[in-house]
Amino acid sequence: MSMPHMTPAELRQHATFTALMWAFSYPGRPQRLPAAGLAAFVAIGETLLDLETGFFTPYDDLVPALAATGGRPLPPIHAPYQFYPQLTLAELDLLVTAPLGTYAEPDRGATLVLGCGFAHGTPLHLSGPGLAQPLTITVARLPDALWRARATVAVYPLGWDLYLVDGDQVIGLPRTTRVEVG
Amino acid sequence: MSLASLAHPRQDFSYGFLDAFAKRELRRRMLKAIAIPGFQVPYASRELPIARGWGTGGLQVTLSIVSPVDTLKVIDQGADDSVNAANLRRFIARMTGVATTTDTLAATVIQSRHRVPEERLREGQVLVLQVPDPEPLRQVQPDSSRAREMHADADYAQMWLTLYEQLVRFGRFMQGASYPVLVHGRYLMSPSPIPRWDTPALHQAAHLTLLSAGREKRLYAVPPYTDVRPIEFEDVFFQVENMAGRICMLTGARNKFMDELPVAEGGSQFRLSDTGYAAKLLRRARGDAATLGATYFDDEGHFYQPGVIRHLPNRNGLPEINPV
């Protein structure tokens, strides 16, 4: 019996999952994905999506690649995984309808993958599990209304789990992370 | 384009034994578990070539997270060389090509049944705990659907009542291993049957802990730097097992978790439960190179984070340890 080897797809998905796992474990710390730009969204999609789940994205160019995983395209009110390479105010109206989970099943709260920039932008002060000390990051290209919606609509243990993607970097903000803007 | 260029070479098994769908589902569940500390996430526990109840939950998690660049340590009740640990380690290594070790400091992934290593885990390490029964409310609510509602309502009154009844009837908390903890101030969690000695090691830990019950098909997690508080009263505190006065017969170590070995003449001898740590102590005693990490409890029995294990002050205003 020979030892099995990782296929290129498995290698890519393992690297992506590892980045996502540590991104949630240590919120605010950038992790490296095996792909950059729109390909990073595809890599996250192929790591998380298959026949058992569904997705939403308003970005038409992303739909074929995500649908190729077997995941079903769903409206934002039902989709457990949602991809917004550029989140505009109009798309924010869709995003705020994303599932929050229920008290019996908080794990049904949506995972949101959002494109943004880390080099400069709005300071976000983070605290909560995964952070030994409060941490400040800067995030550009995301409307401030997102953070207001996250704070008011989503009350722990309900909520959204966020991945922020810039190039090949991903930052995780699970629902436990307290975010203060400014 | 040929078919051969599209297909990868034939293999007897998938990498990590589990197929791609199984790993993807496990990974989705693990991410949710990390996002909701202490919440039991259901998953479709797959069949494995070992029986349920022998670590299949931990094994599935480990197979989903390791890669050839990882270093794996597997322990069973602290021992690297027990039959269960040896078989799991061999299986994982065969299916993933992962390097193995008995050194806690060298490992990136540690799968364990019923112990946390004595040496402190660091950032970037993953502790995978095998869980026989993930439901901390089982003793007060055998109906799992009702227990799920209680978790949804954060209704843990019956657990407090059970603790109170134990104090009234026996004068102390009777729960040994699997002492229930409150995670991030919200979910009551069974830390798996680790002794009370190990429970404080999960509080504000630098490492990630993943717990998985294969038979019960649920997994949950404690992210790094998360509050994990054993339930206790304001005036009667959670206590770890009393290891004072126990000296390891092999290494001379003190104030670490010991296995008790009855001797023919009566009485007991003690031996470090953590065999990897004991081996390093023995190597150092022989004059060989061995790097020892900082331990959760020092040689005087003090936990490394002050205030986590509380003691009532005695009449002199000094902390008093209640031997349990």
- The pLDDT value recorded for residue B312 is 64
In a domain, B300, yes or no: no
> Sorting pLDDT into bands at 50, 70 and 90, what band is A3?
confident
* B280 assigned to some structural domain: no
* Two tokens, residue B62: 């480990």
Q: Fill in the DSSP letter of residue A54.
A: E
Answer yes or no: is pLDDT of B320 > 50.
no
Res. B244: pLDDT tops 80: yes
Percent of chain B with pLDDT strictly greater than 70? 96
Distance CA B233, CA B260 (A): 30
Task: Give the separation between CA A25 and CA A131, rounded to whole angstroms.
Answer: 9
Q: Provide the pLDDT confidence category of residue B19 given band limits of 50, 70 and 90.
A: very high
On whether ipTM exceeds 0.90, the answer is yes
In a domain, B167, yes or no: yes
Rg (CA), chain B: 21
Q: Is residue B296 domain-resident?
A: no
* pTM tops 0.90, yes or no: yes
Q: What is the CATH number of the domain that holds B28?
A: 3.40.50.11310
pLDDT at B167 over 60: yes
| Residue among B11, B21, B224 whose CB faces A25 most closely | B224
Q: B65 φ, ψ to 5°? A: -110, -20
- The pLDDT value recorded for residue B30 is 98
Task: Look at B67 and A53 and tell me if their CB atoms are within 8 Å.
Answer: no
Per-residue confidence (pLDDT) for residue B7, from 0 to 100:
76
What pLDDT shows up at residue B176? Answer: 86
Of the candidates B15, B200, B149, the one whose C-alpha atom is nearest the C-alpha of residue B95 is B15
DSSP helix/strand/coil, A39? helix
Residue B207 DSSP code: S
Give the minimum alpha-carbon distance from A70 to chain B in angstroms, rounded to a whole number: 11
Model confidence at B45, pLDDT cuts 50, 70, 90, reads very high
Asked whether residue A142 is assigned to any structural domain, the reply reads yes
- Tokens matching residue B93: 């290594």
User: What pLDDT shows up at residue B321?
Assistant: 45
C-alpha neighbours within 13 Å on the C-beta side of residue A102? 5
What are the pLDDT digits (tens) for B46-102?
Answer: 999 999 989 999 999 999 999 999 999 999 999 999 999 999 999 999 999 999 999
B301 assigned to some structural domain: no
Mean pLDDT value across residues B313-323: 49
Q: Region B269-291: what's the mean pLDDT? A: 96
Any chain A CB within 8 A of the CB of B305? no
pLDDT bin (cut points 50, 70, 90) of residue B314 is: low
Check A107 against B16: CB less than 8 A apart. no
Asked if the structure places residue B57 within a domain, the reply is yes
Q: What is the pLDDT of residues B109-141, one digit of tens each?
A: 999 999 999 999 999 999 999 999 999 999 999
Contact residues, chain B, for A155 at CB < 8 Å: none
Residue A157 contacts B where some CB pair is shorter than 8 Å: yes
What is the tens place of the pLDDT at every residue in A142-158? 999 999 999 998 789 99
**Domain containing residue A118:** 8-181
What is the number of domains present in chain A? 1
The answer to whether the CB atoms of A47 and B27 lie below 8 A apart is yes
Across the interface, do B67 and A18 touch by the CB < 8 Å criterion?
A: yes
Number of separate domains in chain B: 1
Q: Is residue B4 very low, low, confident or very high in pLDDT (cuts 50, 70, 90)?
A: confident
Q: From the list B17, B27, B39, which residue is nearest A106 (CB)?
A: B39
Residue B257: its pLDDT value, please?
A: 97
- CB-closest option in B24, B30, B95 to A21: B30
d(CA A94, CA B230): 41
pLDDT, residue B284, reads 96
CB contact under 8 A, A131 and B13: no
- Residue A2 falls within a domain, yes or no? no
- Domain of A142: which CATH number? 3.40.50.11310
pLDDT digits over A66-93, tens only? 999 999 999 999 999 999 999 999 999 9
Asked whether the beta carbons of residue B206 and residue A132 sit closer than 8 angstroms, the reply is: yes
Answer whether residue B164 is part of any domain.
yes
Res B324: pLDDT: 41
Q: Which residues, in sequence order, are CB contacts of B39 under 8 Å at separation 6+?
A: A106, A107, A157, B32, B33, B151, B187, B220
Residue B221, domain member (yes or no): yes
Question: Average pLDDT, whole number, for chain B?
Answer: 93
With a pLDDT cut of 90, the percent of chain A lying above it is: 93
B56 is in which domain, residue-wise? 20-230
